[in-house]
């Protein structure tokens, strides 16, 4: 049984796309994370954002729907005990509904300081979230105003997911680079069929994106490295340091809340 009604139950699971972002961007490129200002949109349990904090990000903000914030706060407290000498600063957490005044309020509160990294993991799936990716793209345009901000987008491909439309819309203003994929394009249809049968067959993609410098530039999607020979799965993040294991620790709250999707966030 889902912990929450509507689509909010999706925020109570660490999805494979989030694990792919941690494994293929955050851990290998920790130099990019160290000292960075990071925000995660539609963060759910907040694992990628918490990993960024443990890797040395200057500040981390986790954002979600209001109904999921109590669970998120408990998860932060569990992974970041009371501060002491040498302790890692805990990420902040707040409600952020895409495409509304909360986005402008967040930008105003930062007084001109932009985010260095914006993390988005498995936030596009039309059968569950509808076309909220339109508001997600709008929010990303507001938060990433120039090439100083890098988007890191993890996607799990599913049937009729809306991902091609999302990438096309994002590509109007951002230069996208496919940095890792678990499949080749010609394999996708077969993998989508297999994913209904086996949890081992998860078609995953990780993109980075930066805002295009000049208006009117032709959108581009850069090719990433050769795809792996097998599909990455939810168990694919290798056990390593205690920091990595701590960041993966999650807590599921009792089934006390029922909510519906609001404001376009996931």
H/E element holding 55? none
Please return the burial class of 118, using the count of CB atoms within 10 Å of its CB with bins 0-12, 13-18 and 19+: buried
**Is the per-residue pLDDT at 43 higher than 60?**
yes
What does the pLDDT average to over 128-138?
95
Domain boundaries, the chain: 8-247
**Is 169's pLDDT higher than 80?**
yes
Q: Please, which pLDDT band fits residue 55 given cuts at 50, 70 and 90?
A: very high
Mean pLDDT of 142-150: 96
Whole-Å CA distances, 59 to 33, 175, 221: 10, 25, 30
- What architecture (CATH level 2) is domain 8-247? 3-Layer(aba) Sandwich (3.40)
Read off the DSSP letter of residue 210: E
Q: How far is residue 81's CA from residue 61's CA, in Å, rounded to a whole number?
A: 17
Residue 220 pLDDT > 70: no
Residue 19: band (very low, low, confident or very high) from pLDDT cuts 50, 70, 90:
very high
Evaluate if residue 97 carries a pLDDT over 50: yes
- Confidence class for position 15, pLDDT limits 50, 70, 90: very high
């Amino acid at each position: 049984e889902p912990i929450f009604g509507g689509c909010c139950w999706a925020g109570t699971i660490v999805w494979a796309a989030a694990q792919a972002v941690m494994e293929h961007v955050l851990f290998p490129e920790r130099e990019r994370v160290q000292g960075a200002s990071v925000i995660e949109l539609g963060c759910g349990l907040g694992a990628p954002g918490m990993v960024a904090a443990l890797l040395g990000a200057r500040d981390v903000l986790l954002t979600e729907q209001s109904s999921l914030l109590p669970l998120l706060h408990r998860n932060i407290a569990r992974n970041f005990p009371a501060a002491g000498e040498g302790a890692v600063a805990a990420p902040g957490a707040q409600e952020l509904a895409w495409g509304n005044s909360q986005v402008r309020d967040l930008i105003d509160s930062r007084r001109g300081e932009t985010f260095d990294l914006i993390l988005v993991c498995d936030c596009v799936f039309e059968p569950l979230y509808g076309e909220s990716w339109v508001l997600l793209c709008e929010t990303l345009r507001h938060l990433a105003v120039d090439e100083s901000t890098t988007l890191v987008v993890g996607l799990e491909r599913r049937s009729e997911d809306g991902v091609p439309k999302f990438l096309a819309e994002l590509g109007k203003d951002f230069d996208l680079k496919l940095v890792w994929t678990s499949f080749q394009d010609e394999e996708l249809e077969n993998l989508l069929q297999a994913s209904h049968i086996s949890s081992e067959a998860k078609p995953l993609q990780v993109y980075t994106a930066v805002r295009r410098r000049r208006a009117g530039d032709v959108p581009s999607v850069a090719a990433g490295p050769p795809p792996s020979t097998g599909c990455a799965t939810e168990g694919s993040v290798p056990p390593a340091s205690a920091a990595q294991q701590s960041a993966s620790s999650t807590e599921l709250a009792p089934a006390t809340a029922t909510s519906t999707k609001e404001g376009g966030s996931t």
